[in-house]
Structure 1
Amino acid sequence: MIYEDLGYNNELEQYRNEQGLDSFEMGRVVSEHKERYVVKTPTNEYDSELIGNLRFTAESRHDFPAVGDWVAFSEYDEGKALIHAIYPRSSVIERQAVGKSGQVQIIAANIDCGIIVQSVNRDFNINRLERYLTICYASNVEPIILLSKIDLITAVELETLLNQIAERIKDVSVIAISNESDAGLDQLAALINKGKTYCLLGSSGVGKSTLLNKLSGKELMSTGAISESIDRGKHVTSYRELIVLENGGILIDNPGMREVGITDTASGLEMTFDGIMEYAENCRFKDCTHQHEKGCAILEAVENGEIDANTYANFQKMHREKTHFESTVQEKKSKDKSFGKMVKNVKKQRKQDKF
């Protein structure tokens, strides 16, 4: 294995030289456990932690390493290392942190392609597919839709689901697979290229870990048995992990996500709902909210059946989430600024009192 097999490229090498990081070793974060990181090189893996300066100067979650990041590190003991710097990210897949208003959770960094996995039984939900597409587009990550467990339905039922996707989602590859019969796996494997990084996205129990084992040809991840009561696999992945496949592809498995909250992803929404946004250009008012205005081209298209009503409803819901997230972030920034100003004034007053 060489560094390019892990996704290393000329842009990262240029940054390394420009920033004087050539005195450190370089590696990629393959897993994270409570601010401890496993960093992989072509020859070894290191249990790593941040140097104090990185930890204490971090202003947000973006300043900490994430799975998929490239880092500069130094080994201080056998198999143990200190992380000194994080290389620039080419992409970051993120969502709203669950239960934490205005905060972001990084799913993975430096991703080339997001593989959105939905099982064809109870997990299938086009609204959720559009959410995953939005976070992929916002991160400049190419999406692929993977329908799993097709052995559980008939060919006619599968064709119906594929038609439903085609009606609402355009220009995205859709592959139907079965981990039981291996149907469709060759088609997926053909899309995985050496040195490129792919992130598995989806809910619990849709077969992501089983898929990873199939693609690698090894039992890399534990898998759960099918639960008869809910007709789905039991969720077993509890943390993100980066795996290098024998064919050279790089795959990141993720814990199942029940919630896919939208952040400030304007570009992602526009790309996911580009069919809707084309109509927006013909709205009477430039600041049209597309909710109640007279002369709104989008509302007219919904009424005329030119835009699917469910697609429009999902677009509006996600747009409201985006707007709320942005306002929450701005409110938090204002509070932080006010608090910082107060601390500064207190320090200034204390200094004056000494004299």
Structure 2
Amino acid sequence: MSPVPAELQAIGWRAAVDPRWQAAMDAHPAAVPARVVEQHRSGYVVATGPGDGVAVESLPEWQRPAGYRKGAVAPEERPAVGDWVLVEGGRRIVALLPRRGAIKRGAAGEHYRQQLIAANVDAVFVVCGLDGDFNPRRIERYLLLVQGSGAQPVVVLTKADRPDADADAARAALADMAAQEVPVLVVNAKDAAAVAALAPWLRPGDTAVLVGSSGAGKSTLTNTLLGSERMKTAAVREHDARGRHTTTHRALIPLPSGACLIDTPGMRELKPTGEEELADGGFADIEALAAQCRFRDCAHGREPGCAVRAAIGRGDLDEGRFLNYLKLRDEVAAASDRLASRLADKQGVKVLTRALHKRLDDKYGKH
């Protein structure tokens, strides 16, 4: 392959090309690689460098509703911001290059669907304000969703400049995360010197994504990292520290450092996909304690010999964190059942389709 243009490297292209990409490139020799930098309901915007992106046509099967059976592609198999695609004629996507990881959640609604937040990222900044937005249980939920992506989670506590901000208490509440090698940073998002603490995860070629509630300070962080007021910001409500959606769509932004940052709208609902592992999502210590219980099917209630309850009694395990673990465990199990059902239905459709084709071939002969 020819040397990678500097423009592509500036938006995250790696020096070593994923070997899985070569087959797609060989199949579309007239296409050029581009990165998805914006995702809208109407389609995608891609870029081949750090300048302005261009709106492109996507494959027809990506435009069909998720419930549309014939030729439809599941939402998680369609491009997301951060994905690399091949574009022909400067206007038409012809292939999605295999991704090396993705951040996703269970979509809202009764039917099981996955929603991609960002693809091909190296770090996830879980942003939470040191005001009414601070919620260790929600941060744990974010970390659970991040764990399967291969990206490094980093908890970023903003609004350290507030007179009522208690950084020491917040760090203490998140001590279990720090003990599991999840960095916890406290910053004033408006101060470039403070935000410089994020530099180890924003090296040239790196891609990071910001996730958190509306009003947590994601757009302010982005502006400070850019050194300009590019992203719109708004004040939060005093009574509940909630903000409006100043970011209305996901967007990838090249930074002066040579890294890329993906800003996302605030997320109110964080449903598991059913693919998560609690041990890898920040609860390895609780899983290890549960393995020490006298009874294998211990419900961690009043059973004798419960190692989990003993740890809570000694003060070694926070009961609120344990209750959140139980809640997430049940949600992951329920989502896993729905995922298995969807996969079984999909396999059943394939079996029925093959059987129909066989009957037609038997009756009319193969064409």
**TM norm. shorter chain > 0.5:** yes
Shift, 1:153, TM fit: 3.3
Q: Which moved more, 1:196-205 or 1:223-232?
A: 223-232
Question: Residue in 1 aligned with 2:66?
Answer: none
Q: TM-score, normalised by structure 1?
A: 0.87
Asked if 1:32 corresponds to 2:39, the answer is yes
Residue segments in structure 1 that go unaligned for 5+ positions in a row:
none
Question: Is it true that 1:278 corresponds to 2:292 in the alignment?
Answer: no
**Any idea what the Cα deviations from partners look like across 1:306-341, whole Å, max 9, x if unmatched?**
322111111111110000001112223344455666
Provide closer, same or farther for how the CA distance between residues 245 and 330 of structure 1 changes in structure 2, counting only shifts above 3 A: same
What's 1:50 paired with? 58
Structure 2 letter corresponding to 1:151: D
**1:92 to 1:293, Cα distance in 2 relative to 1, 3 A:** farther
**Using the alignment, how far apart are the partners of 1:313 and 1:36 within structure 2?**
41
Give the whole-Å Cα distance in 1 for the aligned partners of 2:332 and 2:117. Answer: 18
* Structure 1 counterpart of 2:12, from 7, 21, 24: 7
Q: CA RMSD in A?
A: 2.9
Matched residue, 1:23: 30
The equivalences for 1:242-257 within 5 A come to 242-257=252-267
1:162–1:38: structure 2 CA closer, same or farther, 3 Å change rule? same
Cα distance between partner residues in 2 of 1:238 and 1:131: 22
> Which residue number in structure 1 is paired with residue 216 of structure 2?
206
Q: 1:191 to 1:44 in 2, by over 3 A?
A: closer
Following superposition, the deviation at residue 271 of structure 1 comes to 4.0
Give the aligned length: 350
Aligned to 2:81: 67
2:172 maps to what in 1?
A: 163
1:180 CA drift (Å): 4.1
Distance 1:232 1:62, change over 3 A: closer
CA deviation profile, 1:30-82 (whole Å, cap 9, x unmatched): 0111251111102663211223366674431122111000001112xxxx511
Give the structure 2 partner of residue 145 of structure 1: 155
| SS at structure 1 position matched to 2:170 | helix
Is the 2:81–2:252 Cα contact (8 Å) retained in structure 1? Answer: yes
2:13 alignment partner AA: Y
Secondary structure of 1:261's aligned partner: coil
Q: Name structure 2 gaps, 5 residues minimum.
A: 1-5, 64-69
| Paired amino acid for 1:92 | A
CA, structure 1 residues 35+92, in 2 after alignment: closer, same or farther (shift >3 Å)?
farther
Instruction: Indicate the larger mover: 297-306 or 280-289.
Output: 280-289
Sort the Cα spacing of 1:15 and 1:341 in 2 relative to 1 into closer, same or farther, 3 A: closer
1:227 Cα offset (Å): 3.7
Percent identity between the two aligned chains: 32
Structure in which a larger fraction of residues adopt strand? 1
Task: Give the TM-score normalised by structure 2.
Answer: 0.84
